[in-house]
Amino acid sequence: MMLLAGDIGGTKTNLAIFDSARGPRDPVQTGTFPSAKYPSLETVVRDFLGDAHLKVARAAFGVAGPVVAGRAEVTNLPWVMDETQLAAALDLEKVTLLNDLAATANAVPHLAATDVHTIQAGQRVAGGTIAVIAPGTGLGEGFLTWHGGHYLPFASEGGHTDFAPTNPLEAGLLRYLQERFGHVSYERITSGSGLPNIYHYLKDNGYAQEPAWLAEQLAAAPDPSPVITNAALDPNRPCDLCQMTLQTFVSVLGAEAGNLALKLLATGGVYLGGGIPPRILPALTDGTFITAFLHKGRFADLLAKIPINVITDPRVALLGAAYKVFETE
């Protein structure tokens, strides 16, 4: 029996077909599609299945947006998806939609040592709640709880909670962003769109000068975030403004990861997902993240015992959707 899994994002859609006899880590065929070029998920899937010439029975899709009662909208796309309608349109027995952070969380119990990079070893508690925080295009948050001998994944929209500054620089950042956006969430800072927000605040307030060569690169780039992170991590041409931007990003991310760990009592560990953490590992391991994570007063000792891992597998959400579709057999 052939099964279909997908990771549906505002930028790209990753799809994979699996043979139920081979398992969710061994796809028969994969494909990546530019989401914005398609009017709906159905059209993407039809193109993929048409090329594959395989008959699929069931599907599960991780979606970058909230899923309520089997219905979902992609946050950065005009797509509306419904499980029943998708199953009928694609001639499938069943379609399951889950939030992309729930999909990422669903993969966490199945990750191998080679799929993660540990930044705090800690002391994992068997069956303890697991937190997932994922900065990418946005800031996703999710978690897993132990029930009936296995972990159950849950999504949240915690990335949109109110940003709380922890020092004078961050207090100024909050005021700066309030003038632009009104409500300031953690996603406004710790995401792909958040990096330029930090950068412009530091530049506009004179914390560091913008080099001419960097201004040229930013003006030509469709997405300024990679330019900023690359300049921050470049040992041959260090940029003070970019380094301060990335340090602020990492500090705020560490603080929010600590907040999430406390709220969930995440004794099973904290996992950093999303596209950004694997690209900024040097900045996550220089002490800035851990210092902010532990800066919780009387609960610093508790947080020091929580394992923290960066997920380095770029297709973890697709893997989680694959495990989900295998669960529905």
Spell out the domains of the chain, with CATH numbers in brackets: 2-105+315-327 (3.30.420.40), 112-312 (3.40.367.20)
Is residue 200 pLDDT above 70, yes or no?
A: yes
CA distances to 110, 196, 229 from 223, rounded to whole Å, are: 33, 9, 11
Beta sheet of 130-135, edge-to-edge order: 116-120, 308-311, 269-272, 130-135, 139-147, 150-156
Share of the chain above pLDDT 90, in %: 87
In angstroms, how far apart are the furthest CA atoms of the chain? 61
Global confidence as pTM = 0.93
What average pLDDT score do residues 125-144 get? 95
Predicted pLDDT of residue 284: 97
| Integer Cα distance of 310 and 117 in angstroms | 5
Predicted pLDDT of residue 10: 80
What contacts 4, CB < 8 A, 6 or more positions away?
A: 15, 16, 17, 18, 45, 49, 56, 58, 59, 60, 92, 325
Q: Could you read off the pLDDT of 21-54 as tens digits, one per residue?
A: 988 999 999 999 999 899 999 999 999 998 878 8
Q: In the predicted model, what is the mean pLDDT of the chain?
A: 94
Where does residue 274 fall: left (phi above 0), alpha (psi -120 to 50 degrees), or beta otherwise?
A: left
